[in-house]
Chains A and B, each alone.
With several copies, the nearest count.
Chain A
């Protein structure tokens, strides 16, 4: 069976701010996507393309094993190997710009200055529709988690990037913090034009017979359905704290899941781990969102953004959904 292509539906179009409009709100999460997926289906159907985070120079990943499973989730300690920005521009970017979807380049840094250098280098490069600033990877010895947990550092990084890059700048936040609202505000303050949340939660899985962690490092990042309730809550907090458009990320496997984020206030969503589970998940989500706008008679998916009420309340006969959203399992 061939993968079914989706048709563009104008009701799914969304605006991520700073001129970044998407034909639909569905994109891959950084690190869970590559041009290799292009052999499976036409990537031009996606709202945007997000390559794995790049660094300015070359760096290696972590010792193997780099992935393991946890209940309804996975743990990764990939560690962001990167061949550097020049290699990215010459070898990888052309693999992405072949498709009819804007490319949002995810950038990382071992220190604050690396972000500045990357922003400067990528500014004006054709094919770079925007930047996602990864201040949240918990696997890095330096940079990553430390920068993303401090409002002052976050503001500084975003200021540096937005001063140097003329286009959309999305701050990607870590969940390993006390107040994601504060970090979102700091990002806004620093000039971010959108927020994406969340990255992986720091976690650890142990092989008790071998008395070792199951990945090559002590800790890894937890992703997948297991973290979805936490991610939805954080997106809701971010949306309550800032007025920027938000990309909701964390455990999305279906249109139903994507809608949780949209109802919590997200303008768009990104699919990470579920791309491994089922490589056509993003197309399933797009199709499911079409069904939702259709059955809910919406002129735009944006009409339900943030339309969330508290508490389902107990009913002796709970209100049965008139038109259940198709989505797998649960």
Chain B
């Protein structure tokens, strides 16, 4: 799993001249586009389906359950691009990218957990059970879990946790040990607890209200897990500081680190080039979050792959 670097310079034409600072990733981290290596993740479909439920699960946070065989059969880390409202002629006209929080393959359902932050998510929160929702999905490259892995570390913050929760189910199914750090602004909105509980994973829940989410506070716990050799792969989403921390601690221990990125999207399919990874080049295009991501491999800066 080697390849094109986002900040490589001229050597790989497609991403030549890209600038990591555009991404505001910590300068200590560099990203790598994963090779698919013959693995074909489920392809996107156009899902026009019924909302089964859409309930507030925490302050400002909602869970929308929809019926869809295609979405229910996505892989961890893939996402959907959801149209918030029902009219096409009026605001908002762009769909919103949303990770799948949980699949139920048997029941053919997929759950989205979202935080109301702007007009689109507010419109989503207004939808009711029985309404028709339109989704393009599943899209994106999933998180890889290697066959030789027997423990994984999952580190997420805020709604970033939603991109990671499907890993919990999958790891559980494969009898892989789960270690998670889930962070949020306050205790009420730490997501993912239900998933950890179901999978009997090990987790540290931290938040800003008591300072427990400070990097200095979570570092020892993460450090210990990594140094103990209990995990072979690590997955991060939702916080620059946590990405930088995990990447720094994981590299010396040969623990592979993956991040799921966000970007403004329009098509979600890879044709509009809206979601280029914040990078730009003098001579060519940078990778797309929807098609080449949202999952990327992380390395400490200076590492050449």
Known A-B contacts A64-B278, A317-B240; A3 and B89 likewise in contact (beta carbons under 8 Å): no
Considering only residues 55-80 of chain A, those with a C-beta below 8 Å from chain B are 58-69, 71-74, 76, 78
Please indicate the chain B residues that have their CB under 8 angstroms from the CB of A34 in the complex: 267, 269-272
Considering only residues 250-274 of chain A, those with a C-beta below 8 Å from chain B are 253-254, 257, 273-274
CB distance from A9 to the nearest CB of B (A): 23
The reply to whether B94 and A280 contact each other, CB–CB distance below 8 Å, is: no
- Bound CA span A99–B17, Å: 35
Chain B residue with Cβ nearest A224 = B93
- Bound CA span A286–B85, Å: 23
- Bound CA span A78–B288, Å: 12
A side interface size, CB within 8 A: 58
Please indicate the chain B residues that have their CB under 8 angstroms from the CB of A52 in the complex: 271, 273
Residue in B136, B264, B286, B291 whose CB lies within 8 Å of A60? B286
Interface of A, helix, strand, loop or mixed by DSSP: loop
The reply to whether A59 and B284 contact each other, CB–CB distance below 8 Å, is: yes
A236 contacts the other chain (Cβ, under 8 Å)?
no
The reply to whether A329 and B274 contact each other, CB–CB distance below 8 Å, is: no
Residue in A35, A39, A278 whose CB lies within 8 Å of B44? A39
Most chain B CB neighbours (cut-off 10 Å) among A216, A224, A276? A276
A315 contacts the other chain (Cβ, under 8 Å)?
yes
CB distance from B285 to the nearest CB of A (A): 4
A41 contacts the other chain (Cβ, under 8 Å)?
yes
Interface of B, helix, strand, loop or mixed by DSSP: loop
B side interface size, CB within 8 A: 62
Please indicate the chain A residues that have their CB under 8 angstroms from the CB of B271 in the complex: 33-37, 52
The reply to whether A316 and B90 contact each other, CB–CB distance below 8 Å, is: no
A1 contacts the other chain (Cβ, under 8 Å)?
yes
The reply to whether B44 and A313 contact each other, CB–CB distance below 8 Å, is: no
Considering only residues 206-238 of chain B, those with a C-beta below 8 Å from chain A are 238
The reply to whether B265 and A277 contact each other, CB–CB distance below 8 Å, is: no
The reply to whether A60 and B265 contact each other, CB–CB distance below 8 Å, is: no
- Bound CA span A115–B277, Å: 29
Most chain A CB neighbours (cut-off 10 Å) among B92, B119, B134, B259? B92
The reply to whether B88 and A316 contact each other, CB–CB distance below 8 Å, is: no
The reply to whether B267 and A64 contact each other, CB–CB distance below 8 Å, is: no
- Bound CA span A275–B274, Å: 14
The reply to whether A329 and B88 contact each other, CB–CB distance below 8 Å, is: yes
The reply to whether B273 and A74 contact each other, CB–CB distance below 8 Å, is: no
The reply to whether B282 and A253 contact each other, CB–CB distance below 8 Å, is: no
B residues with CB within 8 A of A: 13-14, 17, 21-25, 43-49, 83, 86-95, 118-120, 134, 136, 238-240, 243, 259, 261-267, 269-286, 291
